[in-house]
């Protein structure tokens, strides 16, 4: 599992903690850059939109949903990486997950936060967003729980809560390691964070049980979250959206995009945080194989979606399909097919699967394709509803382009802050994969 | 008084722990830098009561989730195209989410209750047990028992034994 020989327990502590405790100028420059990009490209246009109204975006009467919601789906999808790798592989006791799951869980959390921001951007009047929660209020107003949008509020709140607890509880023993290696205010902070953890057999035993239950709860939750996101669309009667296949389609796409996202993040961690020793060929190889399977599943569902639409012969559905395949956004559709159905096939060859640079390019292309997929779902369906007099057109405004670009900087900023506060590689779980030191060795 | 013995090798640590346990001296704690099933077996830790919290949370979440959806619909009546005010199928989705939310929250509560954490008071501890050493702690021993425990643990291969104050 280790490309450069097995480390000792003490080396694991040293390597992981040094990535947190030693910070060079390169980190601060990168953090400053991402924060500036987030401020200029995300928050400033958002403030502009808050001042002038949602008319600043390209949405119109015939297309009331736009890039903000397609980005919301994209970021929710990316969040499924942590759940798949951490929870599913924890329950199936896969050893190779142990070096990379913490970062995958962090991806889950920060993708969700970015996704939640897009809901706030989309709703326009941000100051009324609390109306969507069941909070007692003087107006006697309560949310309508028959609406899929309210399913979403409940699902995402639950997912955010569960993911935060999942990553925090898995990190408690490592917080204790940071506490023991620190002094001053950092030591005091990590004493609080680690709850006074000593690593007794009773503590490990209780954590093990609790963590397994968290994993058991989080897996169906993740599936439900993206199913519910798909129902935002599929429970409408809009042609191109009203498909029963949407829930598995969205879940599969989410896991696919999330796994590709993990490859990108693993590359960065190896390159910039010196984790070459812990994130090696075995991880790349396994993630590559997983991506091939997901790619084929995703392709199958896409073909199925086309087939069932064609087979129905309904004129409304056929028009939505024609617009998607040959209309204004057709180049984006075929780009998505190229990046998500054909490019991943390169990973069938070991020389692609075992090359970090090639895998980085493939993983980025997959996510470009997945971002496009979500845009196509939104932009080619609503403007083609039933009667031609209701037909319209949607094209994002500069505000939407800018906010989309800025969201990547927000995610990167959150991740950069995370790697300095939480060990990005789980210290104790890496130790579990090592051969114990023996007296007679 | 507590005896704290540090081991380099996992096998020695487990052997020492078993011998102290069978000698019936004081209250035994075993600290390690990673979870060890064998250490949990020495202490006889079986199924954790945390699972009961998870189940209770899930049940309470399911009931309260459905109740919340029904109650809010009755308090704020929103007739839509003659549809039922209390509509069970969509409420099952809310019930599902609340089942998981409460299950997770109760599991967290159960973890804290069962593990006794947070515990920021002074307790016998050595930071090496979080790096690469295995530590046996024998608490609540008088002088004679402490000496006996030290002898057993040194014979088992402890690198170092020392006496410290019991947990406060």
For chain A (length 441 residues), average pLDDT per consecutive 10?
A: 76 89 90 96 96 91 89 91 78 79 89 93 89 86 90 92 92 93 92 92 93 92 92 89 90 92 89 82 89 95 92 89 92 96 94 92 96 92 84 92 96 93 90 80 62
pLDDT in the model for residue A39: 96
Peptide bond into B118 cis (omega under 30): yes
Mean of all residue pLDDT scores within chain B: 89
Condensed to tens digits (0 to 9), the pLDDT of residues B116-165 reads: 889 888 888 888 888 989 999 988 878 888 888 888 888 888 888 888 87
Chain A residues close to B127, C-beta within 8 Å:
180
Kindly report the three-state secondary structure assignment for every residue of chain A.
Answer: CCCCCCCCHHHHHHHHHHHHHCCCHHHHHHHHHHHHHHHHHHHHHHHHHHHHCHHHCCCECCECCCHHHHHHHHHHHHCHHHHHHHHHHHHCCCHHHHHCHHHHHHHHHHHHHHHHHHHHHHHCCHHHHHHHCCCCCCCCCCCCCCCHHHHHHHHHHHHHHHHHHHHHHHHHHHHHHHHHHCCHHHHHHHHHHCCCCCCEHHHHHHHHHHHHHHHHHHHHHHHHHHHHHHHHHHCCCCCCCCCCCHHHHHHHHHHHHHHHHHHHHHHHHHHHHCCCCCCCHHHHHHHHHHHHHHHHHHHHHHHHHHHHHHHHCCHHHHHHHHHHHHCCCHHHHHHHHHHHHHHHHHHHCHHHHCCHHHHHHHHHHHHHHHHHHHHHHHHCCHHHCCCHHHCCCCCCCHHHHHHHHHHHHHHHHHHHHHHHHCCCCCHHHHHHHCCCCCCCC
Q: Over pLDDT 90: what percentage of chain B? A: 41
Condensed to tens digits (0 to 9), the pLDDT of residues B75-98 reads: 888 888 888 889 999 999 999 999
Would you call B121 and A196 a contact, using CB atoms and an 8 Å cutoff?
yes
B81 touches chain A (CB under 8 A): no
Calculate helix-pair angle for A315-326, A330-337, nearest 10 degrees.
80
Please determine, for residue B109, whether its predicted confidence score (pLDDT) is greater than 90. Answer: yes
Chain B residues close to A200, C-beta within 8 Å:
29-31, 137
A220 touches chain B (CB under 8 A): yes
Backbone conformation region of residue A279, classed left if phi is above 0, alpha if psi is from -120 to 50, else beta: beta
Can you list the domains of chain A with their CATH numbers?
9-130+142-431 (1.20.1630.10)
User: Taking the model in full, what pTM does it have?
Assistant: 0.91
pLDDT in the model for residue B168: 58
Would you call A213 and B50 a contact, using CB atoms and an 8 Å cutoff?
yes
pLDDT in the model for residue A1: 62
pLDDT in the model for residue A277: 81
pLDDT in the model for residue A2: 64
pLDDT in the model for residue A295: 96
Chain A residues close to B114, C-beta within 8 Å:
206
Q: Which residue from B minimizes the CA distance to A168?
A: B108
Q: Which of B12, B33, B76 sits opposite A431 (nearest CB)?
A: B33
B133 burial class (0-12, 13-18, 19+ CB within 10 angstroms)? buried
Would you call A146 and B80 a contact, using CB atoms and an 8 Å cutoff?
yes
Can you list the domains of chain B with their CATH numbers?
2-33+132-164 (3.30.70.3400), 50-115 (no CATH)
pLDDT in the model for residue A92: 80
């Amino acid at each position: 599992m280790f490309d450069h020989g097995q480390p000792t327990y003490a080396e694991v502590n040293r390597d992981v903690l040094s990535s947190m405790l030693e910070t060079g100028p390169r980190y601060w420059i990168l953090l400053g850059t991402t924060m500036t990009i987030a401020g200029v490209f995300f928050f400033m246009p958002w403030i502009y939109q808050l001042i002038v109204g949602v008319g600043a975006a390209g949405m119109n009467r015939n297309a009331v949903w736009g890039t903000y919601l397609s980005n919301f789906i994209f970021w929710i999808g990316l969040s499924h990486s942590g759940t798949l790798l951490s929870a599913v592989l924890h329950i199936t006791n896969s050893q190779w997950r142990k070096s990379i799951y913490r970062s995958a869980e962090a991806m889950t959390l920060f993708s969700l936060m970015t996704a939640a921001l897009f809901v706030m951007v989309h709703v326009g009047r941000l100051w009324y967003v609390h109306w969507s929660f069941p909070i007692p209020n003087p107006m006697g107003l309560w949310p309508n729980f028959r609406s899929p949008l309210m399913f979403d509020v409940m699902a995402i709140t639950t997912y955010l809560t569960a993911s935060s607890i999942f990553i925090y509880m898995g990190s408690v023993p490592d917080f204790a390691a940071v506490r023991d290696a620190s002094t001053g205010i950092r030591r005091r902070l990590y004493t609080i964070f680690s709850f006074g953890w000593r690593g007794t057999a009773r503590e490990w035993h209780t954590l093990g049980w609790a963590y397994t239950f968290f994993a058991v709860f989080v897996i169906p939750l993740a599936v439900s979250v993206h199913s519910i996101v798909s129902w935002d669309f599929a429970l409408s009667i809009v042609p191109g959206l009203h498909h029963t296949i949407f829930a598995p389609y969205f879940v599969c796409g989410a896991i696919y995009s999330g796994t590709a996202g993990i490859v990108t993040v693993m590359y960065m961690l190896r390159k910039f945080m010196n984790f070459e020793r812990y994130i090696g060929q075995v991880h790349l190889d396994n993630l590559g194989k997983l991506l091939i399977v997901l790619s084929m599943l995703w392709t199958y569902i896409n073909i199925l979606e086309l087939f069932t639409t064609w087979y129905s012969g309904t004129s409304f559905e056929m028009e939505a399909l024609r617009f998607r395949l040959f209309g204004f956004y057709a180049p984006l559709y075929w780009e998505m097919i190229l990046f998500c159905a054909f490019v991943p096939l390169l990973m069938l060859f070991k020389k692609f699967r075992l090359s970090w640079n090639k895998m980085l390019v493939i993983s980025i292309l997959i996510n470009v394709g997945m971002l496009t997929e979500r845009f196509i779902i939104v932009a080619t369906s609503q403007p083609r509803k039933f009667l031609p007099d209701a037909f319209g057109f949607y094209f994002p405004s500069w505000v939407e382009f800018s906010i989309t670009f800025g969201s990547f900087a927000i995610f990167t900023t959150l991740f950069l802050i995370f790697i300095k506060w939480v060990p990005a590689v789980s210290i104790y779980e890496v130790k579990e994969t090592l051969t114990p030191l023996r007296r007679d060795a | 008084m507590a005896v704290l013995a540090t081991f380099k090798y996992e096998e020695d640590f487990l052997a020492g722990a078993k011998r102290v346990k069978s000698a019936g001296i004081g209250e035994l704690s075993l600290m390690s830098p990673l979870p060890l099933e064998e250490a949990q077996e020495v202490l006889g830790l079986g199924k954790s009561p945390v699972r009961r919290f998870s189940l209770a949370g899930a049940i309470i979440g399911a009931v309260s989730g459905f109740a919340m959806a029904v109650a809010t619909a009755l308090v704020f009546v929103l007739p839509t195209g003659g549809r039922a005010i209390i509509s069970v199928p969509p409420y099952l989705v809310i019930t599902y989410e609340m089942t998981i939310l409460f299950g997770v929250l109760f599991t967290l509560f159960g973890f804290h209750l069962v593990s006794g954490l947070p515990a920021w008071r002074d307790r016998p501890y050595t930071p090496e047990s979080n790096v690469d050493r295995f530590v046996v702690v024998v608490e609540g021993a008088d002088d004679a028992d402490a000496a006996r425990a030290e002898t057993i643990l040194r014979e088992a291969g402890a690198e170092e034994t020392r006496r410290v104050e019991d947990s406060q």
